[in-house]
Homo-oligomer: A and B are copies of this chain.
Amino acid sequence: MTGRLKPRLAPRPLDPVVRRLRTLGPLSEAEQELLRTLSDRRERYTTGEELVPEGRVATKPRFIVSGWACRQRVLPDGRRQIFQFLLPGDGFGLPKKPSSPELAAVVALTAVETVDAEPALEAAQSGRAPGLARAFAGVQQLEQGLLLDHMVRLGRQTAYERVAHFLLELQRRLEIAGLGDSQRFPLPLTQEILADALGLSIVHVNRTLQQLRRERLIELRSGVAILLQPQLLSGISDFRTGGPHGGAPFRRVHTAEPA
């Protein structure tokens, strides 16, 4: 457990959730109030605990209010693939076919606190909270996009590009969540976790990080990451802020378009 999340006598522990959903469309006062009321049925998990086991019937929707978690699968021989990181403000188990099996486990990567999201989801689906409904739709779209980004990393980028791209993604997400600035953010992940997310070995992650450090592109100290030259990192990894994908500086030979 790196990360050092202080219990922090938070004035408004649900802020990350409100903040997150507001980036996806305006929320009425009532809707924001509803979100802040979710504090009931708070649950706490410690590092390594499973919030949702894989394969069982779908669980209730919840928001993460503090700590980091991930969605993952583990192969029978122990290999693990992390699909997605869940940060404060993120939800899981949100929109799903009722009695379907979970497609991936959700596991706490640090100490984690969650709250019940059911009331918010219900309000959205019943039409009583159109702002929330739009926000949830936006969340789903965004998450889908993150999954595809991750897939590109795994399938078509080098270790170097993967790490750079991934760090940029985290920076952006954490800044939106109000947990980091344009360069600096908490990174409570071991290199093993990074490896399992990025499809690399621990050793290779280590060497790649060191290369980025040597080149003065990043700094990593005690659970905090600093992107010294975000611009360069973006160039290296073809990171796009969210606009239309696919500029075309130059082009490979072997993928000829038929038309």
Contact = CB atoms under 8 A, between A and B. Distances in A.
Interface of A: 47-49, 54-56, 73-81, 83, 96-97, 100-101, 103-104, 134, 137-138, 140-141, 144-145, 147-148, 150-152, 154-157, 192, 196, 198-199, 202, 238, 243-255, 257-259
A138 B73 contact: no
Give the residue among A49, A83, A245 with the most B Cβ atoms within 10 A: A245
This chain: copies in complex: 2
Given A100-B141, A156-B81, A76 B151 contact: no
Given A48-B258, A74-B255, A83 B148 contact: yes
A192 B152 CA distance: 16
Contacts of A55: 243-246
B76 A238 contact: yes
A80 B156 contact: yes
Nearest to A47: B258
A77 B253 CA distance: 9
Given A148-B73, A148-B83, A252 B78 contact: yes
A245 B73 contact: yes
22 contacts: A49-B259, A73-B148, A73-B152, A73-B245, A73-B246, A74-B246, A75-B238, A76-B248, A76-B251, A78-B251, A78-B252, A80-B255, A81-B152, A81-B155, A83-B148, A97-B138, A103-B141, A103-B145, A104-B148, A154-B199, A155-B198, A192-B255
